[in-house]
Amino acid sequence: MNDAPDRVYLDHAATTPMLAEARDVLTEQLGRTGNASSLHASGRAARRTVEESREIIAEHLGARPSEIVFCSGGTEANNLAIKGLVWSQRSADPRRTRVVFSSIEHHALLDPVTWLAAHEGARIDTTPVDRQGRIDLDALRESVDRDPTDVGVVTTMWANNEMGTVQPIDDVVAIAHRHGLPVHSDAVQAAGYLPLDFAGSGLDAMTLTAHKLGGPVGIGALVLRREVEPTPLLHGGGQERDVRSGTVGVALIAAFAKAVEVNAARRRETGERLEALRARLVEGIAARIPDAVVNGDPESGDDHRLPNIAHVTFPGCEGDAMLMLLDAQGVEVSTGSACAAGVPQPSHVLLAMGFDDRAARGSLRLSLGHTSTDADVDRLLEVLPAVHERARAASLVRSR
């Protein structure tokens, strides 16, 4: 159940409530003492918990335990992957300063890339996407083949956080590996909904975070192929393969592992249930708001889109206005725009997909999760017509 049962939470793509099983593990471990780097009995017990958790996570991701590098979350893992790989590639060959990445990446990856360009002389090569939010493989191939000797890393998210569109990771890896280039994927949104197989994918690095899976905030992982050695961002005790120094959070790691384990056991059942809820949601919106447009891939399935995200444009409305009006009715959703310095900006993801500025500002992301119910969908559909009418009226007034 939601922590606030009188409210409807439809923003699971931002974060999802902790699973009861993960919460129980976290609570139990928080009562224990021991630094996993210490040699005494308490330290050895903590180390055992960390390594057993590492094995669980690796097993369910098709990775070796030694390839799981624990970090504070997805943002740190993305920074370590992109900066670390560019720096290590550049140290071996000064020409390798180009980052090839998709135009729809999350800011946790977009911002490290732009930082490298501004402060480290990196060059950015952006791969365009189609109207569904899927990368253009021909454009990627042309970008890489044009001069592979200057590429430091290729990166493409596994599934987009706004549209839910699944990317052709196998093809991306094949294009890059023809030239021996390292490939990273931000799989934060995909984990828990898609069957991730790190070894089978051929990726060199992959980002995860626990709080999207029903685990705690503050822990994630960079899955890093054993042969890959990025330059560390942090220096200290040499923990985590000497790639990510810092005292490891034993309780957080144990709860992370439990969330991965529970998600793996329930993935198919949860996916089918959420796909059915999503279908009710979009069909209900279409019936009540005929000019609403559902964006992204219309096809369901692991190769098309995630089962839990519905992205909808409401012509003639401001998404921010609809969000606040829905919130006043106890329904929590997200817009397709990010806020920079307090000034709403249209989402770079939507602009990259070909949306104009007005359409990009008039969109909502409705994302379901393990606590979502038919009653949640019913409540949204109940209040949506009046919210839509008020938002459209307000937009008309502002446009005069």
Looking at the annotation, which residues are catalytic?
339
DSSP string, 81-144: HHHHHHHHHHHH-TT--EEEEETT--HHHHHHHHHHHHHH--EEEEEPB-TTS-B-HHHHHHHH
CA–CA–CA angle 196, 198, 201 (5° rounding) = 90
E strands present in the chain? 8-9, 68-71, 98-102, 123-127, 151-155, 183-186, 205-209, 220-224, 293-295, 309-313, 331-332, 334-335, 337-340, 343-346, 363-367
Phi and psi angles of residue 340, each rounded to the nearest 5 degrees, phi first: -120, 120
| Distance (Å, whole) CA 90 – CA 160 | 29
| CA triple 263-269-274, angle to 5 deg | 95
Task: Classify burial at 29, counting beta carbons within 10 Å of its beta carbon; exposed 0-12, middle 13-18, buried 19 or more.
Answer: buried
Can you tell me whether residue 346 is helix, strand or coil?
strand
Beta strand 183-186 pairing with 151-155: parallel
Nearest to 159, CA basis, from 199, 117, 192, 183: 192
What tokens appear for 197 in the block? 């197989």
Report CA-CA distances (Å) from 296 to 9, 11, 16, 370: 22, 17, 22, 22
The Cα 324–Cα 53 span in angstroms is: 40
| Spatial contact of 104 and 352, defined as CB atoms under 8 Å apart | yes
Cα 156 to Cα 144: distance, rounded to the nearest angstrom:
13
Phi, psi of 271 (to 5 degrees): -60, -45
Buried b (16+ CB within 10 A) or exposed e, 167-197: bebeebbebbeeeebbbbbbbbbbbbbbebe
